[in-house]
Structure 1
Amino acid sequence: MSERTMDKASPDHAEVPQSATASDRTPQSGAAAAPLHRVRSALRLGPISVVLRPTMALVVVALAATVLALFCLDIAFGDTHIPLGRVLDVLTGGGTRSQRFIVLESRLPRALTALVVGAALGIAGAITQSILHNPLAAPDVLGITTGSSLGAVAVLVGTGGMTAGFAASVGAPLAALAGGLLTATAIYLLAWGRGVTGDRGVTPMRLVLIGIGVNAFLLSGISFLLTRASLQDAARAQLWLNGSLNSADRTTLIPAALALAVVTLVAVGSARTLAALRLGSDTTRVLGVRIQTQQALLIGAGVVAASVATAAVGPVGFVALAAPQIARRLLRTPGEPLIGSAFIGAILVVGADVAARTLFPVDLPVGVVTAAFGGPFLLYLLVRMNRKATLS
């Protein structure tokens, strides 16, 4: 039947595609009923309903496999190369005594610390970028990481040789955690004010601008402390500022892992609230979300994650900035995904540690490698945002 004949045909005799069922046909007067198709299938278990996204699930599985592969490579490479098969054998309880010592005592804490730090930075970046509606908003841009660095540098350059070991292993991480939390509190209080609608609270734009200003102020404070320190203390502080995993051990791994577990539970439990906060203040209020309370809770979780990661190994730049944006593009989600950002953050940090110890003649700090990757990615985001602004 030709298209012209179909146009003249009666609605009662119009052909209906075979894929349309009786429930898909909605009676309409004077027009053929259009078939309705389900976009995604849902899995229902009693009161719980989950939308099935096969493509997203496959991407997450691929990211998890990549993390596992890089994790094993990070353990395998070193002064004494251990084949991947031997690494897996040792991790499952086998291997010789020397191999177990190298893998379990020397390299496993470092690899686990890299994984935990990367995941924490990825979650911290996803939270801040989702709440502030800005792909450039990250803890290292807003001054949180710099506040942690200032606290650690103040301890490292303010202690003599007798307390250097204690300061490097305990004092500096605690000072970094305190510095990040105090900086975040100061930024939040400075950003508090009356908005355009007359409501008092914190607006994303004001928080970003104040964070950038505080970040510049704290950087000048770090530079001042380094110029006043002795050569030995300044060298030790500069090594820490580059984000090094050389001193990673169980004393830094366990607190970071516990903090990451708590932050992950808070963030995943507030995933729906975080999705509502992405819709803007007016829509979020209609949905019944207490904006200021939820913002403070989620920003606090992101600050803790970033501060703990910085306290463990020092500032690792651009991971919190890049991980959520890469995860968003891979998973094709409307916002920055939490779990995907954690996987990408772990891939970036563990992969940077592998590259730092294999691609260069000297053992570079992991922060140097992530900065070399993050600089071009930041330029890419700036160019992309400029194109969007020009088209709009």
Structure 2
Amino acid sequence: MINPIHAVKGFFLHNDFILNEYRIPRTLLGLLIGSSLAISGSVIQGVIRNPLASPDVIGITKGASLAAVMIIMIFPSAPLFVLPLGSFIGALTISIILSVLISKFDVKGSKLALIGLAIGAICTAIVQFLLIRNPLDANNALLWLTGSLYGHNIVNFYSLLPWFIITVPIVLLLGYQLDILNLGDHVAIALGARVKILKMILLVLAVMLAGASIAVVGGISFLGLIAPHIARQLVGHKNIHVIIMSGLVGAILLTFGDGLARGIQPPLDIPVGVVIAIIGAPYFLFLLRKM
């Protein structure tokens, strides 16, 4: 355990290898990924107009997970950059499918969430099949599927930072129009909003945030669901406020969860995805009961 005074000295003097190479990068990465997943969840909930929507609910996490497991199982000796690239492509594929459904078939609202759940179920079934067929590589795949910040360094933080810097300002710029979408498609069109294009752009931005995050640390579930709900309790229902507060709440939740995961049974490093799922699942049931 590093005391706070030693941590501050080590940070400014750069004389503590573990602190500067692992602890600080891990904390920064946790803040960035927590914020990215939470903002992605708040945007998806606004687009679909369903408070139970999130990256894992509409299948984005499951698509990324399937691609990652396929790479781990089929190409176990592939270079390190292939895994995050493949998982991002998996998330992007799901986003293209959902975008086509929005633009060509006018699928919207709860129906889109249900289709995402169905796609996610198919991806999960294929993942389970691959795990059964390749038991020797199952441990590596399961560690990735649960989501963990273990072993990541500042390179991972810098690889994710450009995605955050590019997407979040655009999300904030378009966030005000989510309030118009919440009035209903017909009203939004009457007010001059290009509903289908706006939904597609926002959905792609949400997928970019979630896909890039999942590609780095694996499938962390429920964070994109619970953070926007906590944010609404704090700042109300105006979408731009919810998006900003969701980013703050998500960053705090993931960083706190990671600290808890490391402190439950040291030196065992429990994947932070397990802790978030333990917190998120009861909260999800609580939301269902309220609805």
2:86 is aligned with 1:175: yes
**In the aligned structure 1, how far is the partner of 2:212 from the partner of 2:100?**
22
After superposition, residues 144-183 of structure 1 pair within 5 angstroms as 144-160=60-76, 163=77, 166=79, 169-183=80-94
2:177 is aligned with 1:266: no
2:179 corresponds to which residue? 275
Unaligned runs of 5+ in 2: none
Greater per-residue helix proportion: 2
2:127 corresponds to which residue? 222
Cα shift readout 1:115-154 (whole Å, capped 9, x = no counterpart): 1110100110010001111110111011000000011111
1:371 corresponds to which residue? 277
CA contact (8 A) 1:157 1:230 kept: no
**In the aligned structure 2, how far is the partner of 1:109 from the partner of 1:319?**
20
CA contact (8 A) 1:191 1:206 kept: no
Q: 1:173 to 1:340 in 2, by over 3 A?
A: same
Structure 1 residue 291, shift from structure 2 partner: 0.2
Aligned to 1:283, the other structure's residue is in SS state helix
Unaligned runs of 5+ in 1: 1-80, 195-200, 386-392
Structure 1 residue 191, shift from structure 2 partner: 5.0
2:252 corresponds to which residue? 347
CA contact (8 A) 1:191 1:210 kept: no
After superposition, residues 285-304 of structure 1 pair within 5 angstroms as 285-304=189-208
CA contact (8 A) 1:243 1:365 kept: yes
Match of 2:43 among 127, 130, 149: 127
Counterpart residue type for residue 63 of structure 2:
G
Structure 1 residue 109, shift from structure 2 partner: 1.6
Structure 1 residue 192, shift from structure 2 partner: 4.7
**In the aligned structure 2, how far is the partner of 1:327 from the partner of 1:94?**
37
TM-score, normalising length: structure 2: 0.94
Of residues 280-289 and 140-149 in structure 1, the stretch that sits farther from structure 2 once superposed is: 280-289
**In the aligned structure 1, how far is the partner of 2:276 from the partner of 2:251?**
12
CA contact (8 A) 1:125 1:320 kept: yes
**In the aligned structure 2, how far is the partner of 1:174 from the partner of 1:183?**
15
Match of 2:10 among 61, 65, 90: 90
**In the aligned structure 2, how far is the partner of 1:273 from the partner of 1:297?**
12
**In the aligned structure 1, how far is the partner of 2:259 from the partner of 2:37?**
18
Structure 1 residue 205, shift from structure 2 partner: 2.6
Aligned to 1:301, the other structure's residue is in SS state helix
2:152 is aligned with 1:248: yes
Aligned to 1:247, the other structure's residue is in SS state coil
CA contact (8 A) 2:102 2:196 kept: no
2:113 corresponds to which residue? 208
Counterpart residue type for residue 86 of structure 1:
H
Counterpart residue type for residue 379 of structure 1:
L
Q: CA RMSD in A?
A: 1.6
Structure 1 residue 193, shift from structure 2 partner: 4.9
**In the aligned structure 2, how far is the partner of 1:292 from the partner of 1:193?**
10
2:12 is aligned with 1:108: no
2:47 is aligned with 1:142: no
CA contact (8 A) 1:124 1:302 kept: yes
TM-score, normalising length: structure 1: 0.71
Structure 1 residue 86, shift from structure 2 partner: 2.2
**In the aligned structure 1, how far is the partner of 2:281 from the partner of 2:265?**
19
CA contact (8 A) 2:167 2:209 kept: yes
Match of 2:232 among 302, 305, 328: 328
Cα shift readout 1:147-191 (whole Å, capped 9, x = no counterpart): 00011111011124xx26x2xx31111111000000111233245
**In the aligned structure 2, how far is the partner of 1:288 from the partner of 1:187?**
24
1:309 corresponds to which residue? 213
